[in-house]
Amino acid sequence: MITIKSKSEIEKMRVASKITGDALKLVEKHIRPGVSTAELDKIAYDFIKKQGATPSFLHYEGFPASICASPNSWVVHGIPSNDVILKEGDIISIDMGACKDGYHGDAARTYPVGKISDEAQKLIDVTKQSFFEGIKHATHGAKLGDVSAAIQEYVEKNGFSVVRDLVGHGIGKNMHEDPNVPNYGHKGRGLKLAAGMTIAVEPMVNVGKYGVVVLDDDWTVETEDGSLSAHYENTILITKSACEILTL
Ligand code: MG
């Protein structure tokens, strides 16, 4: 079921989303060669709790941490670990959510670790920009396919591919609500967007082919061909004239 949020619900979404965005900014400050993804997880957990919120990912369907930390060819859902230590030249995708007063925010970024290759930097930039290309179309009365197609077109024009098996989603009282928000599709197709919808738009982009596999831990998603992958996500609110990004 797709929900249109009331004014008071939107206010709660704003609060939860701001905590999420601020937690990401704090984690970003600690990204450097030598840091473990478990340390980054602890930083996010402590910050979110200090805001009187709850990490949305912790215990979600059994997930054991507050952030997903997915370096290099890991696409999403990497489990933070003392054994995953970032090194110069890595890229690291961090995805997290916060819940406050019963409403969730959800956002992700991919960061460079020290000096990275030109290709890795291009991947990060294209992934981020594809989000912004997509949300240009995320307005009241537009079709969801307009958003999806714009993301896909921008990514593929730049020589990369969009992951098909994982998609964005509606968000609100639940972290994952209807509708699905794919990063591929056709203009003019799909659901009609309406003011008051809140959705998480989250392109996942691979340097190589779009296929992915799930590792033996039943969580970590990795590119099938071992190529690098990046992720960029924000929770957005559809408004009459445009959309508003809540998790920046
Ligand atoms: Mg999400």
Q: How does pLDDT run across 110-133, given as a tens digit for each residue? A: 999 999 999 999 999 999 999 999
DSSP 79: P
Cα 96 to averaged position of ligand 1 atoms, centre (Å): 8
Q: Quote the CA–CA distance of 181 and 162 in Å, as a whole number.
A: 13
Cα 116 to averaged position of ligand 1 atoms, centre (Å): 26
- Cβ density class 183-219: b for 16+ within 10 Å, e for less: bbbeeeebbebeebbbbbbbbbbbbeebebeeeeeeb
Cα 233 to averaged position of ligand 1 atoms, centre (Å): 7
- pLDDT for position 23: 98
Stated as kind and residue range, the H or E segment containing 132 is helix 118-135
Q: Quote the CA–CA distance of 182 and 169 in Å, as a whole number.
A: 8
Check if the beta carbon of residue 223 is closer than 8 Å to that of residue 206.
yes
Cα 80 to averaged position of ligand 1 atoms, centre (Å): 17
Q: Quote the CA–CA distance of 205 and 164 in Å, as a whole number.
A: 10
Cα 88 to averaged position of ligand 1 atoms, centre (Å): 27
- pLDDT for position 215: 98
DSSP-derived 3-state class of residue 207: coil
- pLDDT for position 219: 98
One-letter amino acid for residue 246 of the chain: L
Cα 217 to averaged position of ligand 1 atoms, centre (Å): 20
Q: Quote the CA–CA distance of 4 and 2 in Å, as a whole number.
A: 7
Tokens of 241: 């004239």
* pLDDT-above-70 percentage for the chain: 100
- pLDDT for position 201: 98
Cα 169 to averaged position of ligand 1 atoms, centre (Å): 6
Tokens of 33: 């060669």
Cα 236 to averaged position of ligand 1 atoms, centre (Å): 11
Cα 238 to averaged position of ligand 1 atoms, centre (Å): 16
- pLDDT for position 69: 98
Cα 178 to averaged position of ligand 1 atoms, centre (Å): 12
Provide the β-strand partners of residue 74: 222
From residue 157, how far is each of 120, 151, 165, 233 by CA, in Å? 17, 10, 20, 20
Q: Quote the CA–CA distance of 209 and 190 in Å, as a whole number.
A: 25
Cα 176 to averaged position of ligand 1 atoms, centre (Å): 7
Quick one: pLDDT band at residue 189, thresholds 50, 70, 90?
A: very high
Q: Quote the CA–CA distance of 145 and 137 in Å, as a whole number.
A: 9
- pLDDT for position 31: 98
Cα 97 to averaged position of ligand 1 atoms, centre (Å): 8
Cα 108 to averaged position of ligand 1 atoms, centre (Å): 8
Kindly report, residue by residue over 43-101, the tens digit of the pLDDT: 999 999 999 999 999 999 999 999 999 999 999 999 999 999 999 999 999 999 999 99
Cα 20 to averaged position of ligand 1 atoms, centre (Å): 12
Cα 181 to averaged position of ligand 1 atoms, centre (Å): 10
Cα 132 to averaged position of ligand 1 atoms, centre (Å): 16
Cα 226 to averaged position of ligand 1 atoms, centre (Å): 23
- pLDDT for position 7: 97
Kindly report, residue by residue over 2-54, the tens digit of the pLDDT: 999 999 999 999 999 999 999 999 999 999 999 999 999 999 999 999 999 99
Cα 40 to averaged position of ligand 1 atoms, centre (Å): 19
Kindly report, residue by residue over 132-153, the tens digit of the pLDDT: 999 999 999 999 999 999 999 9
Cα 203 to averaged position of ligand 1 atoms, centre (Å): 10
The beta strands (E) that lie in 126-242 are given as 161-162, 168-170, 177-181, 198-201, 204-206, 212-214, 221-223, 229-231, 234-238
Kindly report, residue by residue over 217-245, the tens digit of the pLDDT: 999 999 999 999 999 999 999 999 999 99
